[in-house]
Amino acid sequence: MPQPPVSSTEQEAAEWFSAHDTTPYMDALPEVVEPVRVVRSRPKKKPVGLRLRSDYLEMLKQVAERKGIPYQTLIQLWLVEKLQQEAPDLLQKPGV
């Protein structure tokens, strides 16, 4: 079984693991037994009023239902997709 390289610092190890597939090394890695705390931050949201044609709203709701998500989430996803196309420089990168 292959062994991952020995790193002299946590930073060096983190860089190696972020750049390599760890699947071949899974059996060689020690099991983590201490709890890992995950903190999720959510960006602040601001409610907005948006007037839509009723038939467009119904179509949005139908598409969202097919995808199994709330229609407001679908609208946000589509807005972000368009922002990525039109103004990627203005979008904040995850983790920044």
Work out how many domains the chain is built from and give that number.
1
Dump pLDDT digits (tens) for 20-62.
Answer: 888 888 888 888 889 988 888 888 889 999 999 999 999 999 9
Domain that holds residue 84: 54-88
Residues 10-27: pLDDT tens digits?
Answer: 888 888 888 888 888 888
pTM of the model: 0.53
Within-domain flag for 10: no
Task: Calculate ∠ Cα 73-79-80, nearest 5°.
Answer: 90
- The answer as to whether 78 is a domain residue is yes
3-state SS record for 46-67: CCCCCCCCHHHHHHHHHHHHHH
User: Considering the domain boundaries, does residue 29 fall inside one?
Assistant: no
- Rounded CA separation 17/29 (Å): 12
Q: Side chain identity at 45, as an amino acid letter? A: K
Report residue 64 as tokens.
Answer: 């969202």
Residue 30 lies in a domain: no
- Tokens 């930073």 — which residue? 11
